[in-house]
Amino acid sequence: GQQLNQSPQSMFIQEGEDVSMNCTSSSIFNTWLWYKQDPGEGPVLLIALYKAGELTSNGRLTAQFGITRKDSFLNISASIPSDVGIYFCAGMNYGGSQGNLIFGKGTKLSVKP
């Protein structure tokens, strides 16, 4: 089935740093979504991308839908402590199975000790 490769698996941030993570797939997706999950909670939608090449911002978050439709990245600028959590990318195809939404394994953001 379709799979998403998300990287990095984990990273440490220092307040004020910019953060970047990405997802790649061997398959084409019609939509890319980015979610954030805090401990004990379900994932919350951050950004949705619907067109190849689309660049969308939500506050300090910026995400792009790759032109090949096989990848997406998420950038967080000037990180703050509440940015810690697990970030998931998800790809969606309208005509596929698996509920149309395939998730990456997540990028865990932690604060530098």
Partner 1 sequence: GAGVSQSPSNKVTEKGKDVELRCDPISGHTALYWYRQSLGQGLEFLIYFQGNSAPDKSGLPSDRFSAERTGGSVSTLTIQRTQQEDSAVYLCASSQDRTYGYTFGSGTRLTVV
Interface residues toward partner 1, by CB under 8 A: 6, 31, 33, 35, 40-45, 48, 50, 88, 90, 92, 94, 97-106
CB nearer to partner 1: give 40 or 81.
Answer: 40
CB nearer to partner 1: give 70 or 108.
Answer: 108
The H-assigned helical ranges of 1-113 are none
CA distances from 19 to 11, 37, 62, 65, 83 (A): 9, 16, 10, 17, 10
Q: How far is the CB of 15 from partner 1 (least distance, A)?
A: 25
CB nearer to partner 1: give 3 or 20.
Answer: 3
Q: Residues, the chain, total?
A: 113
Between CA 105 and CA 76 the distance in angstroms is: 19
Q: How far is the CB of 36 from partner 1 (least distance, A)?
A: 11
Q: How far is the CB of 95 from partner 1 (least distance, A)?
A: 10
Q: How far is the CB of 47 from partner 1 (least distance, A)?
A: 9
CB nearer to partner 1: give 4 or 13.
Answer: 4
Between CA 4 and CA 96 the distance in angstroms is: 15
Asked if residues 28 and 109 have their Cβ atoms less than 8 Å apart, the reply is no
